[in-house]
Amino acid sequence: MTGGDGRSAREVQGALTRERILSAARGALAEHGPGGFTTRGVARRAGISHGMVHYHFKDKRDLILAVLVQARRDWIEPLEELVDGPGSAESRMRAVIAWMARPATADVMRVHLSIYVFALADETVRERYAAEYARWRAPFVALYRQLATELGIVGLDAKSVGETFASAADGLVQQQVIDPGLPTARMLRRLFEATVERASGDPQSGPRSRPSPS
C-alpha cells in the first residue's frame, strides 16, 4: 500500500519516526544543552527504543547534522523566501529587517548555540555549520547587488557589504535574546541606510523611503 506521494506505508512511518526523533533532539538540546545531549536521552524523549534512534541516525554526530539541516526552517528558509519575494530590493530588505527584529524564542537560540558548541569540537560539524552560514549570507549579497542596480550605485562591493550586514544582523539577533530591549530593527535599518549612503558617495542619497524612528 502506498500513500498519495507514492511512498509505502513503511516509508511514511519511517519518515514520521525520523521527524519525531529530530523534534526530540531539538527539545533535548534546548533543555539540556550540548553537555547533557545523548542519543539515549533523545530516545526516551521520543518514546522509542535507543536502537530505533540508531536505525535512523548512525551516531550522535549524524543526529546533530540532521538537526542542523532541519534548523534551516528557523533562519535560512524564511530569509530566502523574503529575498525571493515580490517588490523592490529595498522593500524586501526592509521586510527582512522587520522579520529579523522579531524576538527569537530562547529554545530556538539554545538549539543553535548548542550546535555551535558541537561545531567547535567536531570538524565535520564545523564544516557543515560553516556551509549553512554561507547559505545564510548569500541572500544579503544578492539583495545588495539588486540594490546597486535599482539605485544606480556604481562600484558597490555587494559581497563584502552583504556578508558584513548578514554577520552583524546575526549577532544582533543573538544579543536580543539576552537583551529584549535592544532596538534591533532601528539598528539594522540604520546600518542598511548607512551602507547604501556610503556606497553612493552622497550622504543625502540613501534609500528613498526613510523609516520613522523607533
pTM of the model: 0.85
- Predicted confidence (pLDDT) at residue 68 exceeds the cutoff of 90: yes
Per-residue pLDDT at 60:
96
Q: What is the mean pLDDT of residues 106-135?
A: 95
- Predicted confidence (pLDDT) at residue 135 exceeds the cutoff of 70: yes
- Reported as a single tens digit per residue, the pLDDT across 168-187 is 999 999 999 899 999 999 99
- Reported as a single tens digit per residue, the pLDDT across 18-52 is 999 999 999 999 999 999 999 999 999 999 999 99
CA distances (Å), origin 190, targets 36, 148, 162, 193: 40, 17, 14, 5
DSSP H helices, 47-183, are 50-56, 60-70, 72-83, 89-100, 106-121, 123-151, 158-178
Q: What is the DSSP string of 158-196?
A: HHHHHHHHHHHHHHHHHHHHH-TT--HHHHHHHHHHHHH
d(CA 200, CA 32): 48
